[in-house]
Structures are given as C-alpha cells and as structure tokens.
Amino acid sequence: MEYTIIAKDLEKTYVVKRGLVRRRIERVKALRGVSFRVRRGEVYGIVGPNGAGKTTTIKILSTLLLPDKGEAHILGYNVVTEAQRVREVIGVSLTVERGFFWKLTGYENLKYFGMLRGLRGKHLEERVNYVLDLVGLKKLGGDKKFFEEYSLGMKARLSIARALLHNPEVIILDEPTLGLDPPSARSIRELLVKLAKESRKTVLITSHNMYEIEQICDRVAVIDKGRIIAEDTVNRLKTMVSREVSVEIEVLKPRVSTSEIAELFSRELSAKVIVNTDEKGLTRIKALVPFGEDAEFIHRAVAVLQRTGAKLRSARIVEPTLEDVFIKLAGRER
Amino acid sequence: MRYVVAAMRASFYSYMCELKNNWGFAFFMVFWPYLMAFFMYGLGTMLGSIEEYSVKMNVANPMLYIVASSSIMMSSIGIVDAIAREMIRHRWLGTLPYIMASPPRFIVYATAGPIPVAMFSSLVSVTSVLPVVALLEGLTGLIKMFIVLAMIYLAMLPLVGIGVVAAGISLLAGEESNIAGSLTPFIILVSGVFYPQSILPYVLQVVGRAFPLIYVVEAAKVLATYEHLPLRFLYTTVGVLTAMSFLYNTVTSPILLAAEKKVLRRGVYEE
C-alpha cells in the first residue's frame, strides 16, 4: 500500500503571551499526538469543531508550522528537514478570500506563483491557461479580471487553480468551499473527486461541512481537542449510529446563545447536540436519540426551547449522517 | 540558484504588472524625484538663497544637485524599503503563507526578490531626472548621472543587509510592525543628502558613516563639482561599498534565518 501522506504522533502547543505590564503566558495544546496515513488517489477528510486542530495539522503538512514532537512525511520527504522538497510536491489552498495581489488579474496572479515555483516560458503559460480552464474561471472571465473584482466563488476557484498550477501529487485544502454558493461549492467538490480518481492525486481536505465530507471523502478522520477520535470510511463511521435516529429541530429567535442551548440540552436532556445559527437567525439543533425514544425527546426538547423564548419552526426525524457520527463522538456547539 | 532567479523573476513580474495596471503608481514613480526636489527647493529658499546653499554644500550647480540627490536618495532608500516592507505587504495581502509554501527559501525570496524591483525603480528614478541634467550640464552631466546610477546599484548591496535586519525585526515583532518606516528617515537624516553632514552632531556623523548612502551622496557631490572624473575618489568609494556589502550581508543573514524559524514555530497564518 502506497501512502503519500504519513503523520505520526504530531504534537503542537501554541504559546500565547497576554498583557503588556503583567506578562501572562498561556499554553494552548493544539495537537496531542495526531497520526494518520493517506493513500495515493484518495480524498481524505479531517473534520472537527473550531479549535480541534484541523488547521494546525494542515499547517504542519504544508511546512508552514514546525511541530513540537512527532513527524510527518509527504511522498517520503520529511516536512521539517526536507521542507523544500515537500513544497515542490504539494499544492496548498488555505484561505480563499485573500492570498492574491488585488491589482493583478487572475492570469497575472497565477503566472506570478508559477514563476515562483520555477515554471517558465510556454510551459508556464500553458499551465496557467489549463488550470484557469479547469476551475472554470475562463468561462467567468476571471483570467482578465482583477482579483479585487472577484466574487468569493471566483476567489475560491483561483485558490484551487494555484494549488494545481505545478501539477502537484498532493493537494492540501483548508475549508476550500467556505462561504461559497451551492453551485460553486458543488463544482469544486466534483473537481476534487475527478483529480483524485482520474489523475491519482492525493487530496487532503478539512471542512466544517459534513455533507461535503460525506460526498467526496474516501476516508475521514474526526479530530477533537487535538486528537483523532475516529478514522474510517464514511459508511463504516455511519454504522456507529445505526441504532439511533437523528432529530433536527429548527427554532427562531432564542434569547440565549448557541453554546447555552447546547449546555441546556446536555444538562436537562443528557443529549449531545450540534447547534448552528445562520445569518437569518434560524437556529438548528441536531441530536442523536436512541431508536424509539424520538417522540419523547422532541416533546421534552420543545419544552426546554420554549423556556428560552424560541419560536418552534420545525421538528423532524432524519436519516443519520456523518454529522450524527460527529455528534456521537464530539457533540457540542460547532 | 534556480530559485534565486525564480524569486527575482516572480517579484519583478508582479511589480511590472502592478505598474501596468495602476497608472497612478507609475506616474508618481517617475515624477517623485521632481516633487521631492521641488519640496526641498521651496523649503531651502525659505531658509536662505540658492547661492548660499551652493556655498554651504560646496556644489557648483545647486539645482542640479538637488534634483540628482532627490533621485539618489529615493533610489538608495528604495532597496531598504523594498526588502523591509515586502514581507509585511505579503502578510497584509495574505500571500505570505503561499510564498513560504513555495520552493524558494524564505531568505532567498526576501533578499533576492526585491533586488530587480529596486534596480528598476532606481533606473526610472535616475532616468526621470535626465532631461533636467541634460539641460543644465549637457552630455557630461548625463555620463555623470550614469556613474551615479552605478554607485547607487553598488550601494544597494550593503543596504540589502540593512533591509534584511528591518524585515527580520518586523517579522519577529509580530509581523505587522514596519521597522523600515522609522529606519528610512533616520538613514536620510544621518546621510546628509540635502544639507552638509558637518552640521550634524559628531555622534550622528560617525553613525552616518555606517550607512552606504553617504558615500553615494559624496560621490554625487564630487561629480557635480569637478569637470573631470575624479577616478581615484570613485575607486575608493567602490572599495568601501564592496567591503560594506560583504560585511553587512554576512552579519545580517542569520537574523532573517532566525526570524524565519520563529515565524514557523508560531505559524505563518492565523486560524
């Protein structure tokens, strides 16, 4: 079995200094021994709540952060001692909304990053045109538009185009579809699967979007508090919740925060939940309930939510998804 | 070596694209030495006559000297600014992680990248004053300006080291602080571009000698004063600047390497 990415016992502690006069030093353990392996041609997802250690892992593998302990190899190259070789074989997309020159067109931006990687002449121009076409930016006129005129969707496409520019074996993407409209997100997902299955690229992706991870990843690692708490294929992970049903409740205008709702559910219903509030103020609570106890749970949950002043919009039972596995393993506000 | 050239080409390409796409930037780049000279002339005539300035500065053609020295100052300081600000600019743009995740070593990009840009902007800056030089001094003036340009290029090499220190400190001090912003006025102050260095306190005169800009300014003064090229003086200046280049760049490279390591320990972009 050929593994292109190997992470072994990665540990990282951030030192945060606070205060000007009374200097306080806080140590935040971001990774506590993260290990995983990714095969060639595989799409591997890392999911977890904020602060779980997803981005720290990505940063270490992208040679942008030194681990305190452990080691990681990409195509056999050590990310610390052979960083330059690693940089030659990886393509990285970190944040989609920034990372380019505002007064340069998409074509010029990619040409700059291509030059930086030592590409030149006709080959460089061919690669730039190819990736612009591949991510659909040519159709949108993105090659001639300044980056400052780009929509978020176009920025995400350009960020992925840059990651693919030098035809890398390994593609590392941190939340590549964050904030994108559904059609843009879908076309990016399709592209990533195509790259892995047709071109045998290794794709490592982090995301908050469980649906996305479920759609495209061959294997998934669930990370929480700096540790991988589960790792398997999506289908096998879903068997973990086969004896349970997923209950989804939507409410409007609760007087308490999402974290307080999660706390209430934990205290009064002994339930692990995921609570999200969208930009329209709609709060969505998702919980895993043992088979046969769903009706009673909804009844009690509605009563708890009414005390927060929230107006019930809907309550339903849905098929368990990867998100439910996540609730079972690390359920809390996400 | 492959990535040294790659960093230089990429950096120069992005600069040229920004110039092409932003006409305001291009306009001020060409006319900046004139604006500076106009400002210095205006300020100077409030304090005394141009003849008095000529005597105090010991230059035969004060107008030419003001225009030329504005161009020299802009060009020489340009490299310090280019290197020191470059990393902060990339952090603001969000391009820094992608540059650090590219094959050229960070120190290669930080030091080699800005050199062609600084050389080009110096060329534009010196070229932009050529019409005035030709008008006032004819062909001899033009030849002298090209000698000054050669001196500026030579003075850039030790200034790379100074820029590297500023870039390193900027990154170490939280990646947002622009150390060059305070360093540049200081270099201008101690170099005596627009006034005799002798009016400065003795300590500042000595400190000024540590910056290469003063040697270019002196060369420009000598060139502006003498009819024939004072070759011996020019050779000495070339020698001093070359020695400074070796010394400064050898001493300062570890600072940027240390800054790179610290940035990598902290992480290049925030979560």
- Which residue in A14, A98, A116 is closest to B93 by CB distance? A98
How far, in Å, CA of B245 to CA of A84, rounded?
28
Count the domains in chain B.
Answer: 1
The predicted pLDDT at position A217 comes to 92
The predicted pLDDT at position A70 comes to 94
pLDDT in tens, B4-48: 888 889 989 998 998 888 888 888 877 777 777 777 777 777 767
How far, in Å, CA of A2 to CA of B207, rounded?
61
Q: Strands A219-224 and A227-233: what pairing? A: antiparallel
Put simply, whether A123 touches B (Cβ < 8 Å) is no
**Is B149 within a domain?**
yes
**What order of strands is seen across the sheet that includes strand A311-318?**
A273-277, A282-290, A244-252, A311-318
pLDDT by residue for chain A (334 residues), tens digit each? 589 999 999 999 988 777 767 777 888 888 999 999 999 999 999 988 778 888 899 999 999 999 999 999 999 999 999 999 999 999 999 877 788 999 999 999 999 999 999 898 999 999 999 999 988 888 888 888 999 999 888 898 899 999 999 999 999 998 888 777 788 888 888 889 998 998 899 999 998 777 888 889 999 998 988 999 888 888 888 777 667 778 889 998 888 888 888 888 888 888 878 888 887 788 999 888 887 788 888 889 988 888 888 888 998 887 777 777 777 776 654 4
**Is B12 within a domain?**
yes
Residue at token pair 């001899």: B140
Nearest CA in chain B to A97: B94
Specify burial of residue A182 (Cβ count, 10 A radius: 0-12, 13-18, 19+). Answer: exposed
pLDDT in tens, A39-75: 999 999 998 877 888 889 999 999 999 999 999 999 9
Output the pTM of the full model: 0.77
How many Å is the Cα radius of gyration of chain B?
A: 19
- Which residue in B7, B22, B268 is closest to A116 by CB distance? B7
**Is B271 within a domain?**
no
In A242-318, DSSP assigns E strands to 244-252, 273-277, 282-290, 311-318
Angstroms from A288 CA to nearest CA on chain B: 30
**Is B241 within a domain?**
yes
Interface test with A, best of B86, B98, B175 (most A CBs within 10 A): B98
Put simply, whether A87 touches B (Cβ < 8 Å) is yes
The residues of chain B scoring below 70 in pLDDT are 47, 76, 173-181, 224-230, 268-271
Largest CA distance in chain A: 69
User: Which one, of B103, B260, B19, lies nearest residue A165 by Cα?
Assistant: B103
Contacts of A51 in chain B (CB under 8 A): 271
**Is B121 within a domain?**
yes
Contact call for A112 and B103, based on CB within 8 A:
no
**Is B208 within a domain?**
yes
How far, in Å, CA of B171 to CA of A36, rounded?
33
How far, in Å, CA of A31 to CA of A8, rounded?
11
- Which residue in A64, A101, A146 is closest to B93 by CB distance? A101
B182 Cβ partners below 8 Å, 6+ apart?
none
Put simply, whether A112 touches B (Cβ < 8 Å) is yes
Put simply, whether B232 touches A (Cβ < 8 Å) is no
Angstroms from A283 CA to nearest CA on chain B: 25
Contacts of B2 in chain A (CB under 8 A): 118
Domain that holds residue B222: 2-266
Put simply, whether B105 touches A (Cβ < 8 Å) is yes
Contacts of B261 in chain A (CB under 8 A): 66
Nearest CA in chain A to B108: A116
C-alpha distances in Å from residue A211, one per residue of A177, A258, A326, A330, B211: 12, 21, 12, 17, 60
pLDDT in tens, B107-132: 788 778 888 887 787 778 777 777 87
How far, in Å, CA of A76 to CA of B25, rounded?
46
pLDDT in tens, A78-116: 999 999 999 999 999 987 778 899 999 999 999 999 999
- Which residue in B10, B18, B102 is closest to A103 by CB distance? B18
Put simply, whether A82 touches B (Cβ < 8 Å) is no
List A residues 151-210 in contact with B (Cβ-Cβ < 8 A): 162
Put simply, whether A102 touches B (Cβ < 8 Å) is yes
- What's phi and psi for B134, nearest 5 deg? -60, -40
The ipTM is 0.77
- What's phi and psi for B35, nearest 5 deg? -65, -40
Contact call for A102 and B93, based on CB within 8 A:
yes
Beta-carbon contacts below 8 Å between A and B: 106
Nearest CA in chain B to A107: B17
Contacts of A105 in chain B (CB under 8 A): 17, 21
User: Which one, of B102, B267, B245, B95, lies nearest residue B164 by Cα?
Assistant: B245
The predicted pLDDT at position B212 comes to 77
The predicted pLDDT at position B180 comes to 63
Residue at token pair 């602080």: B177
SS (H, E, C) B185-232: HHHHHHHCCCCCHHHCCHHHHHHHCCCCHHHHHHHHHHHHHCCCCCHH
Angstroms from B4 CA to nearest CA on chain A: 9
Count how many residues are written for chain B: 271
List B residues 9-48 in contact with A (Cβ-Cβ < 8 A): 9-10, 13-14, 17-18, 21-22
The predicted pLDDT at position A291 comes to 75
**Is B41 within a domain?**
yes
How far, in Å, CA of B82 to CA of B59, rounded?
31
Nearest CA in chain A to B14: A112
The predicted pLDDT at position B175 comes to 52
- What's phi and psi for B238, nearest 5 deg? -60, -45
**Is B231 within a domain?**
yes
Put simply, whether B235 touches A (Cβ < 8 Å) is no
pLDDT in tens, A3-22: 999 999 999 998 877 776 77
